[in-house]
């Protein structure tokens, strides 16, 4: 029994090392693939997705793309402004931030975000006017789905 026990223990240790190595390799490879999946490159173009879901005609699709490009050109500038103010505000963490700087920054961000919201509602209404009644029903559901996409439910603690 004494000669088979060390042989058994050696075999068990080698087997466990191989299994652990395989598990580590699997976890590392799986983690890399999950990050690659969420890069956004695989994300479908929402214009194409909308056209497919509510059966846009070629003319409607072209009008929608034009409206969409103009909309994102306008709101893109506002998002850039918000990002700049936040960068300035958050990079001042090593200094004393006065209440007035915080208040002014928040007010600017709030104003720009309100403008973005107004422009977005206007854009959605313009797109909706391009559609037939049947398409409008699908469009309303599509907009809700797009607004909820990627959002975490705060009530679930995540």
Tens-digit pLDDT profile for residues 70-117? 999 999 999 999 999 998 888 876 677 677 888 898 999 999 999 999
Would you state the structure tokens that stand for residue 125, as one six-digit string? 């209404």
Question: SS3 for 96?
Answer: coil
Would you state the structure tokens that stand for residue 3, as one six-digit string? 């000669």
pLDDT at 49: 87
Residue 30 has pLDDT above 70, yes or no: yes
Report in angstroms the alpha-carbon separations of 16 from 3, 9, 19, 24, 158.
Answer: 21, 10, 5, 12, 35
Give the residue from 147, 127, 153, 146 showing the smallest Cα distance to 44: 146
In sequence order, the 6+-apart residues with CB closer than 8 A to the CB of 99 are none
Query: Contact at 8 Å (CB) between 101 and 92?
Result: yes
Query: Contact at 8 Å (CB) between 135 and 54?
Result: yes
Query: Contact at 8 Å (CB) between 54 and 131?
Result: yes
pLDDT at 27: 84
In sequence order, the 6+-apart residues with CB closer than 8 A to the CB of 101 are 89, 92
* Measured distance CA(72)–CA(86) in Å, rounded: 20
What pTM value is reported for the model? 0.64
| Helix residue ranges, H only, the chain | 4-37, 46-54, 58-90, 99-129, 133-148
Residue 152 has pLDDT above 70, yes or no: no
pLDDT tens digits along 112-139: 999 999 999 999 999 999 999 999 999 9
């Amino acid at each position: 029994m004494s000669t088979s026990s060390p042989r058994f223990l050696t075999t068990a240790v080698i087997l466990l090392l191989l299994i652990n190595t395989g598990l580590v390799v699997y976890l590392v490879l799986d983690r890399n693939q999950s990050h690659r999946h969420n890069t956004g490159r695989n994300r479908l173009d929402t214009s194409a997705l909308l056209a497919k879901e509510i059966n846009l005609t070629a003319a409607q699709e072209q009008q929608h793309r034009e409206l969409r490009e103009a909309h994102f050109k306008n709101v893109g500038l506002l998002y850039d402004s918000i990002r700049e103010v936040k960068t300035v505000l958050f990079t001042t963490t090593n200094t004393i931030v006065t209440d007035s700087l915080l208040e002014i920054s928040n007010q600017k961000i709030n104003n720009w975000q309100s403008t973005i919201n107004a422009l977005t509602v206007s854009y959605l209404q313009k797109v909706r006017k391009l559609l037939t009644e049947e398409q409008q029903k699908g469009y309303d559901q599509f907009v809700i789905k797009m607004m909820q996409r990627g959002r975490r439910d705060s009530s679930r603690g995540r």
